[in-house]
Structure 1
Amino acid sequence: MNESASPRLKFLPISVFATVMGMTGLTIAWEKAQVLHGFSGVADVLLAVTALLFAVLLLAYGSKLVLYRAEVLKELHHPVRLSFFPTISISLVLLSIATLEVSHGLSELLWLGGSALHLLFTLYVLSAWINHEHFQIQHMNPAWFIPVVGNILVPIAGVAHGHVEVSWFFFSIGLLFWLVLLTIVFYRIIFHSPLPGKLVPTLFILIAPPAVGFIAYLKLTGGVDVFARLLYYSGLFITLLLFTQVRRFARLKFFLSWWAYSFPLAAITIATFALYQQLGHSPLLWLGRVLLVVLTVLLAMLLLRTAMAVKRGEICVAED
């Protein structure tokens, strides 16, 4: 193996799969927009690019597992990076949603693999939290929501494939631990030292559980009721709250953690389009369009900044 490539592979972070989550979220958002506006093409291109990205990253991280097993185990026991392992299973579940209208069979295969793997990751992560010996309150950050979000995603394609009770099972897990972790996260943010700059972008993850929860609940029940509104509008409020902090986010140095902006913003965009389809209120359509523009510009910027960081050798380097 090339000597310069080998060390880069050794330090390939598990958090790199957050890029797939962001790209798949953008793909699904454009699929929703296409349904509402009657044009096509953008989502198909995005889906192909995202699938290729996932395949490349899976191959790369699989190579790291074979060649640098100790480094993978180190991440698997890290209080922060541990929560990013479920981004692999979440990527599979998201791809199952994105391919639902393309190939029902492929979608179900991705859904089955992603859901089963995510259940294993959830059990592992929760067991690690329960039996830990070194976690501190300072280790707690919104990235801990990632295993939870994956469970809430499962019903979105699961109901379409006829797995209704299994979908309720995953939804229940996600909803329960979202509320538990939300309380702990706000306690940590308010009463303890601020998040390190590198983890500040993970605050956007707070948007994802209620936004994704709304979409999943809509699939499970088929309509908008009081609880559905509670989920959507709480996600929208968190989005507005975080947009008031835009200057703080803009001053941050670029890290791979910036990709934490992408999927949650995609989730609230998709949720807004979904609510418009149910209620037909034109302000929701306009809000969805604005969010889609912001999301698309954000993803273009993230791709550019990531490419620049890779070129400069700022990614896949040893970290503390």
Structure 2
Amino acid sequence: MALETHASAVAFGLKPFSRLSQPSEAVRQFTPNWFAATMGTGILAIALAQFPAWPQLRTVGEGLWLFNIGLFGVFSLLYTARWIFFFDGARRIFGHSVVSMFFGCIPMGLATIINGFLIFGLARWGETAVRIAEVLWLIDAGLAAVCGIAIPFMMFTRQSHAIDQMTAVWLLPVVAAEVAAVSGGLLAPHLGDVHTQLNVLIGSYLLWALSVPLAMSVLVILVLRMAIHKLPHVSMAATSWLALGPIGTGALGLLVLGEATPAAFAANGLDAYAGAARGIGLMGGLLLWGYGLWWFAMALLITIRYVRQGLPFNLGWWGYTFPLGVYAVATLRLGSLLPIGLFGILGSIFVALLSVMWVVVSTRTARGAWRGELFVSPCLAAP
């Protein structure tokens, strides 16, 4: 029976790692791109928890969050193994102008897990969940800051870049810091010591500032690049959505920090600035959300154009998920603060689109991973 099952699997092209010369190639070819899957899965889990009237969605979201923890753990082991057993090949990533950008996916994927501890973990483990989230946030903030500084420095000193080859992947190492800022805003109210709350919030504002202005600068160059050199190759189609990431996360960061800051400021004798923080959070978040609406429409139109050409699947398709997810959560957050029902409706539509896209991308990723065809490290092919 076992032999018959194996033969059937081979006949249908289901033999594991059938596209690899040997199973160890899955480790040798493993890249940080895979962590984009933890970003997409994590943001869907968080988005599904934003509907208190639908507890079933929260249950599904919690299941996805727990699955995402396992996924992040497996990817971490695989990438660590690559550095241990294939060090010479692994270190070539620093000179690659595209794959190196995906280092930012690691702290961003971790941030969704941290947020899950505060959204789902409190009911399960209480104060322990807060302690875990606090430790993980410190690690995440450090990784995000390093990515946001070290990767651009390597772009300036050892990598080859050209404006006509630029895509929105330039944003990935930069955006990680503002994602960590959102997690800090969620974490701070749960900390018992008011001075620690203030430290986390100030650190989160600094992380936001470390990311958003630079990301907006990159977007300006990106608009110029597309106007002059037109759209990137179809293999980079999903990057059209990446611009929505820093905008949605930037808006969400201001909203979350604006809600968390007043109480911490008041407890630390900074009452005079408490109201300003809330106002800046709401108005800044609203303005960024409006800017994101332009990028959402543009990404949608660009994607429709690409679909007509035929879209080859690759791990870059996860770029359709996280940016849309953070924009959806920011939309729902605005809907909870403003007496305007349109935000709630749009947020629900965005989450529905995110759910459909996640099913499509995760299914194709699982199939490609099983066959081994997605384990490709461009760094090894580069001269």
Question: Could you say which TM-score interval applies, normalised by the shorter chain?
Answer: over 0.9
Aligned to 2:302: 245
User: Residue 100 of structure 1: which of 107, 114, 118 is its match?
Assistant: 118
Provide Cα deviations, 1:214-270, integer angstroms capped at 9, x if missing partner.
110012222454322111111122112222234234321111111110100111111
State the shift of 1:314 in Å. 1.7
- The Cα offsets for residues 90-149 of structure 1, whole Å up to 9 and x where unpaired, read as 222221112113121111111111111111222211211222352222342101111221
Q: Does 1:203 align with 2:260?
A: no
Q: Is the 8 A contact 1:92 1:114 kept in 2?
A: yes
The answer as to whether partners of 2:45 and 2:61 remain within 8 angstroms in 1 is yes
User: In structure 2, what is the equivalent of residue 7 of structure 1?
Assistant: 25
Unaligned residue ranges in structure 1 (runs of 5+) = none
Determine the structure 1 residue equivalent to 2:203: 166
The answer on whether the counterparts of 1:18 and 1:259 sit within 8 Å (CA) in structure 2 is yes
Mean alpha-carbon deviation: is it higher for 131-140 or for 234-243? 131-140
Label 1:229 to 1:118 Cα distance change in 2 as closer, same or farther (>3 A): same
**What's the RMSD between the two structures over aligned residues?**
1.9
Instruction: Note if contact 1:100-1:157 (Cα within 8 Å) is conserved in structure 2.
Output: no
Greater alpha carbon shift after TM alignment, 238-247 vs 166-175:
238-247
**Cα shift at 1:38:** 4.4
Q: Find the partner of 2:216 among 179, 194, 208.
A: 179
- For residue 92 of structure 2, what is the aligned residue in structure 1? 74
Do residues 129 (structure 1) and 155 (structure 2) align? Answer: yes
Distance 1:36 1:270 in 2: 16
Match of 2:346 among 273, 283, 287: 287
% identical equivalent positions: 23
SS at 1:5 equivalent? coil
Change (3 A) 1:14 1:154: closer
Counterpart of 2:176?
150
Tell me the distance in 1 between the aligned counterparts of 2:112 and 2:141.
10
Indicate the larger mover: 268-277 or 127-136: 127-136
Please tell me whether residue 21 in structure 1 is matched to residue 58 in structure 2: no
What is the CA distance between 1:318 and its match in structure 2? 5.3
Distance of 2:133 and 2:53 partners within structure 1: 22
How far 1:15 moved relative to its partner? 0.7
State which structure, 1 or 2, has the greater radius of gyration over its C-alpha atoms: 2
In 1, distance between residues paired with 2:94 and 2:255?
34
Q: CA deviation at 1:3?
A: 6.9
Q: Which stretch has the larger CA shift, 222-231 or 155-164?
A: 222-231
Query: Residue 148 of structure 2 contacts residue 211 of structure 2 at CA under 8 Å; is this kept in 1?
Result: no
Q: Is the 8 A contact 1:208 1:263 kept in 2?
A: yes
Q: Residues 174-216 of structure 1: CA distance to partner in whole angstroms, max 9, x if unpaired?
A: 1220121111111222212531222121110010111111110
Q: Is the 8 A contact 2:144 2:180 kept in 1?
A: no
Matched, 1:235 2:261: no
Contact 2:251 2:289 in 1 (8 A): yes
Distance 2:244 2:53 in 1: 23
Separation in 2 of the partners of 1:8 and 1:30?
32
Cα distance in 2 between the residues matched to 1:133 and 1:266: 31
**How many Å separate the matches in 1 of 2:357 and 2:306?**
13
